[in-house]
Structure 1
Amino acid sequence: MFAIPVARELFGGSTAVEWVLILIAGACMTASAYFGIKSLTIISYIAVPLVTVLGTVAMIMAVKQGDGTIVDQFAKSSGSLTVIGGAGLAIGSFVSGGTATPNFTRFAKNGKQGTIATVVAFFIGNSLMFFFGAISYIFVGGNDIFEVMIRLNLFYLAILVLGLNIWTTNDNALYTAGLGLANIFNKRKKPMVLISGVIGTLLSVWLYYNFCGWLNILNCTLPPVGIILVISYFMNKKAYDTDTFKIVTVNWFAVVGVILGAIVANVVTWGIASINGMAVAAVCYVIGELVHKNK
């Protein structure tokens, strides 16, 4: 998401240069995730303010240069996406992000600070990213604020914003993947982060050309995981608040719920995909918990 656009702008799309940039970027992102939450925090302290300020400035400049036509376009539909489809993408995006959020809010000093950080990140940060994408599509027919800044002749700032934006996204994703694999295979987190980084770097070219399709799959597949985590907490709240919660190696009803929920969300065309998936996953998990408690 970083190397290919930059290689095209700077070096005319040289494949060799693309791979050099991919390997360098992959190594940097993997390194920041490898060293844990402190390095992630340092990168975020630098990246988030810069991306927010520079991206907002570029968005305002694009609106002014559009002489009012961009604002008018917000009220028009391109006809390529239904309201239900758009709602599904928005809901899926928030729920997907929510499944990884506890990996970071657990470092908050207390529950209040964790809640405030989450609300600010999702309500302001995610909404701002939606605006960046919308402006990009209307202004240049693209999908990233990078393309808007290139059109505005803010070339080096565009590279900076793109690099920091992708970096903070990918290192958080690598940290989450490494933590998940460490829990699944009962291994140390750092080696799992390295494995995730190598796989992610090698598959990044494929992901670049199939990004929207991959996001659609994630928006359908991850919400079932999120709803099961939420229901698990509320159905076992007393156990979560003490040290008496018994860890089950494999909760097969949860596994089945995730699989069936993902299948339904990806296959069924009626309704909102992410909500369909969550409903199926919730039913499976609740049945499993009731059976377990009856035993």
Structure 2
Amino acid sequence: MSKTKDHNFSQEAVPPSAKKGAISLTFIMLSLTFFSASMWAGGKLGTGLTFSHFFFALFIGNLLLGIYSAILGYIGAKTGFSTHLLARFSFGRKGSWLPSLLLGGTQVGWFGVGLAMFAFPVSKATGINEYILIGVFGFLMTITVAFEGIKALLYLSIIAVPAIGILGCYSVWVAVNDVGGLHALMDITPSEPLPFATALTIVVGSFISAGTLTADFVRFGKRARHVFIITIISFLFGNSLMFIFGAAGAASVGQADISDVMIAQGLLIPAIIVLGLNIWTTNDNALYASGLGMANITGLSSKTMSMVNGIIGTLCAVWLYNNFVGWLTFLSTAIPPIGGVIIADYFMHKKRYQSLANGSKRKINWISLVAVAVGIICAKYLPGVVPINSVLGSAMSYIIMTLLARQLRLSRGRK
């Protein structure tokens, strides 16, 4: 496929003619952060935290997520490059295959999780076999993004964002009334309290993969500073709202699974329609991003790779859904160091990013790979919030090693 026909710009910067305004980007980012899996994660927090601890963890977690994602989004809008093309500058042309594989693979995972989250409650309501539903809707979601790309994300977002907001607010209202008012909901004490650090890790970990890929969506932005603001607001508002929707219902009925909550509240039919739209947009975001990642590795078009990834995500949907918590743990450890390295390299070598050719001069930057390993070690062994430790660990080690390597080259040159 020629570059002129690749409207996803998987192998080049987004040209000025394809840039979009703030309103379009806002809908795209809200649809990204209006993530049904965040309601599931919110259910976990709602049954494991007190009211005050829940909101504190939510604010801090989404603020950290927003800042991290906004910086990456700013870089994407400023350069016009996808996350995977940005990785070429810091990891090298072939070295960028590792970030693309990890990021693309996790998005395929989210696609499968979202598909199962939709199929299971629909199966309960209709009696249709869940595997048939997974197959049918996996196919429909795949062809949507494969043939329409960023346009499909925008059109679906305009419908899904207000719809999920209305349903979620109604679900919270039902939850508050069911437990006897807001004060009663605030007084609920969890039977198995969740450690605050774990709660914060869940908030950040539930979206750190998509957050690292923010540049894929907002590189179409006309103004980088607008992208920065839109991204932070989207996380503080959109993702927080999803957690609140999930937590309120879970706390009132004592179940973390959002589909079980909706059944208990008598909202199954509207939930099937509205959550279906919401999951559709989220899954298309995931498939779009995974296609860009695999296009970087294979050299094939992102549309082709999106279709391949859709098939893989559909086949693995049930397994991924049943191992969701383990998936979050993996994301919290392995993904953030990639973003840390990209951020550090951009602010150290801004001038390089004016041409993609500069990102293909080296095959592999071993310093980046070592920095990612350092970030993973920091996440595993340092106290605190796992994703934040990994971002800071990789970024700081990358800066230090790059400066040391530069000084070593200068010393050798003087000799």
For normalisation by structure 1, the TM-score amounts to: 0.88
Shift of 1:245: 6.8
Give 1:34's aligned amino acid.
A
Aligned pairs (5 A) from 1:33-44: 33-35=145-147, 36-44=149-157
Moved more, 269-278 or 182-191: 269-278
* Equivalent residue number for residue 273 of structure 2: 160
RMSD: 2.2
Instruction: Report runs of 4+ in structure 1 exceeding 6 Å deviation.
Output: none
Q: CA offsets, 1:244-291, max 9 Å, x none?
A: 8721332222223224423542x4373322122223322442244225
* Equivalent residue number for residue 351 of structure 2: 238
* Equivalent residue number for residue 122 of structure 2: 6
Residue of structure 2 aligned with 1:48, choices 161, 167, 172:
161
Give 1:107's aligned amino acid.
F
1:200 aligns with 2:313: yes
* Equivalent residue number for residue 72 of structure 1: 187
Residue of structure 2 aligned with 1:32, choices 123, 137, 144:
144
Residue of structure 2 aligned with 1:257, choices 371, 379, 383:
371
Shift of 1:102: 0.8
CA contact (8 A) 1:6 1:159 kept: yes
1:228 aligns with 2:228: no
Aligned partners of 1:82 and 1:269: how far apart in 2? 16
CA contact (8 A) 1:94 1:122 kept: no
CA contact (8 A) 2:121 2:268 kept: no
Moved more, 90-99 or 189-198: 90-99
Aligned partners of 1:6 and 1:269: how far apart in 2? 42
CA contact (8 A) 2:333 2:386 kept: yes
Q: CA offsets, 1:40-76, max 9 Å, x none?
A: 1111111111011111111112112221322322xx4
Aligned partners of 1:151 and 1:62: how far apart in 2? 10
* Equivalent residue number for residue 278 of structure 1: 391
CA contact (8 A) 1:146 1:162 kept: no
Alignment coverage as a number of residue pairs: 287
Bigger relative contact order, structure 1 or 2 (CA pairs below 8 A, ≥6 apart): 2
Give 2:120's aligned amino acid.
I
Aligned partners of 1:122 and 1:5: how far apart in 2? 27
- Return closer, same or farther for 1:282/1:159 CA change in 2, 3 Å cut-off: same
Aligned partners of 2:364 and 2:253: how far apart in 1? 48
Aligned partners of 1:250 and 1:178: how far apart in 2? 22
Aligned partners of 1:262 and 1:80: how far apart in 2? 27
CA contact (8 A) 2:205 2:328 kept: no
Give 1:10's aligned amino acid.
T
Give 1:164's aligned amino acid.
L
Aligned partners of 1:289 and 1:100: how far apart in 2? 24
Q: CA offsets, 1:195-245, max 9 Å, x none?
A: 1111111110001111122112112221111211211221112333x3387
Shift of 1:10: 2.4
Give 2:159's aligned amino acid.
I
Shift of 1:115: 2.5
1:20 aligns with 2:20: no
Give 1:38's aligned amino acid.
K
Q: CA offsets, 1:105-127, max 9 Å, x none?
A: 11123224322331232110010
Aligned partners of 2:135 and 2:209: how far apart in 1? 27
CA contact (8 A) 2:371 2:397 kept: yes
Which consecutive unaligned segments of at least 5 residues does structure 1 have?
none
Q: Percent identity?
A: 43
1:187 aligns with 2:300: yes
* Equivalent residue number for residue 104 of structure 2: none
Aligned partners of 2:230 and 2:258: how far apart in 1? 24
Shift of 1:146: 3.8
Give 1:155's aligned amino acid.
L
Aligned partners of 1:258 and 1:144: how far apart in 2? 33
* Equivalent residue number for residue 117 of structure 1: 230
Which consecutive unaligned segments of at least 5 residues does structure 2 have?
1-116, 410-415
CA contact (8 A) 1:254 1:285 kept: yes
For normalisation by structure 2, the TM-score amounts to: 0.64
Aligned partners of 1:164 and 1:78: how far apart in 2? 34
- Return closer, same or farther for 1:144/1:45 CA change in 2, 3 Å cut-off: farther
- Return closer, same or farther for 1:20/1:263 CA change in 2, 3 Å cut-off: farther
